[in-house]
C-alpha cells in the first residue's frame, strides 16, 4: 500500500475483538452437573436391574458373565470393577476407529462402575415378584433419564456408544444394525459365561429408545451462540 495514503501521526489503536466463548460459565456448570448426575444415576439404574434378578441390561449381561467366569476361576471382582475394566478395553478399540474421547468418555468409564457398586451395597434384594417387576420399571425409567442427562451434557460419548458410532463412520453401516449386532454379540457371550439374560433385558432393549428420545431435547445444553 502507498504510504502517502496513510494518515500521519500514530496509528489508531483498534480494540481486539473479544474472544468467542462457545460455553458460558453457567452452561459449563450445568454440563458438568448433568454429566456426573447422569452417570451416577446410570450406575443406580444398573443396580435396580441386578437386584431385580429378572435380567440385566445388555452390556451388563457380559459384565456379570465375566464376573461369574472369573469367580469360578478363583478371582473375585465386583460388577463395578468389571464395568470399568470392560470400558477401558472398549476404549482401546477406539484407536483404529480414530475416535476422540472427551471428559464424558473418561468419566463414563470410572463413575458408572463406582456408582453401581455403591448402589448394590445399599439396595435391598426383593423377593416378591411384583417388587422385582417394579425394580425393572424403575431401572429402565431411571436409565432413560440418566442417558439423556449425560448425552445432553455434550462432553463426549461413553466408550460403548463411541465404539458403535466409530464403526458406523468407518463402514457406513446403519446405526441400528451396528448397535443391534454389538448388543446381540455381548448378550450371547455374557449369557454363555453365566450372565443374567431375561425379561428385564428385553424390557430395557425395547423400552429405552422410546423413553430417551423425548427426553434428549429437554436436557440438551445449547451452545452460547445457539442460546442467543
The confidence band for 24, taking pLDDT boundaries of 50, 70 and 90, is confident
pLDDT tens figures, 114-136: 999 999 999 999 999 999 999 99
Checking if the pLDDT of 151 tops 60, the result is: yes
Please give the backbone phi and psi of residue 60, each rounded to the nearest 5 degrees, phi first: -75, -20
Alpha-carbon gap, residue 113 to 200, rounded angstroms: 20
pLDDT at position 12 = 41
> What does the mean pLDDT of the chain come to?
88
The confidence band for 8, taking pLDDT boundaries of 50, 70 and 90, is very low
The string of DSSP codes covering the chain is: --GGGSPSSSPPPPPPPPPP-SS-HHHHHHHHHHHHHHHHHHHHHHHHHHHHTS---HHHHHHHHHHHHHHHTT----HHHHHHHHHHHHHHTHHHHT----HHHHHHHHHHHHHHHHHHHHS----SHHHHHHHHHHHHHHHHHHHHHHHHTTS---HHHHHHHHHHHHH---HHHHHHHHHHHHHHHHHHHT---SHHHHHHHHHHHHHHHHHHHHHPPPPHHHH-
Is the Cβ–Cβ distance between 175 and 168 less than 8 Å? yes
Other Cβ atoms less than 10 A from the Cβ of 222: the count is: 12
Across 70-75, average pLDDT: 96
| pTM for the structure as a whole | 0.86
Other Cβ atoms less than 10 A from the Cβ of 109: the count is: 22
Other Cβ atoms less than 10 A from the Cβ of 196: the count is: 20
The confidence band for 224, taking pLDDT boundaries of 50, 70 and 90, is low
pLDDT at position 66 = 98
Checking if the pLDDT of 13 tops 60, the result is: no
Amino acid at each position: 500500500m502507498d504510504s502517502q495514503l496513510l494518515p500521519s501521526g500514530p496509528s489508531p489503536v483498534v480494540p481486539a475483538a473479544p474472544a468467542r466463548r462457545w460455553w458460558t460459565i453457567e452452561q459449563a456448570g450445568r454440563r458438568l452437573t448433568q454429566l456426573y448426575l447422569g452417570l451416577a444415576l446410570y450406575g443406580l439404574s444398573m443396580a435396580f436391574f441386578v437386584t431385580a434378578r429378572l435380567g440385566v441390561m445388555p452390556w451388563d449381561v457380559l459384565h456379570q458373565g465375566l464376573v461369574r467366569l472369573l469367580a469360578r476361576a478363583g478371582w473375585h471382582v465386583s460388577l463395578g470393577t468389571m464395568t470399568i475394566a470392560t470400558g477401558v478395553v472398549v476404549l482401546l478399540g477406539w484407536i483404529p476407529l480414530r475416535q476422540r474421547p472427551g471428559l464424558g468418555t473418561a468419566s463414563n468409564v470410572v463413575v458408572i462402575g463406582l456408582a453401581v457398586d455403591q448402589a448394590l451395597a445399599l439396595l435391598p434384594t426383593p423377593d416378591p415378584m411384583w417388587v422385582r417387576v417394579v425394580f425393572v420399571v424403575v431401572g429402565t425409567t431411571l436409565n432413560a433419564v440418566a442417558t439423556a442427562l449425560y448425552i445432553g451434557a455434550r462432553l463426549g460419548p461413553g466408550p460403548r456408544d463411541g465404539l458403535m458410532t466409530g464403526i458406523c463412520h468407518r463402514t457406513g453401516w446403519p446405526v441400528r444394525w451396528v448397535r443391534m449386532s454389538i448388543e446381540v454379540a455381548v448378550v450371547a457371550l455374557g449369557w454363555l459365561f453365566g450372565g443374567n439374560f431375561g425379561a428385564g433385558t428385553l424390557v430395557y432393549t425395547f423400552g429405552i429408545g422410546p423413553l430417551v428420545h423425548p427426553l434428549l431435547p429437554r436436557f440438551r445444553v445449547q451452545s452460547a451462540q445457539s442460546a442467543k
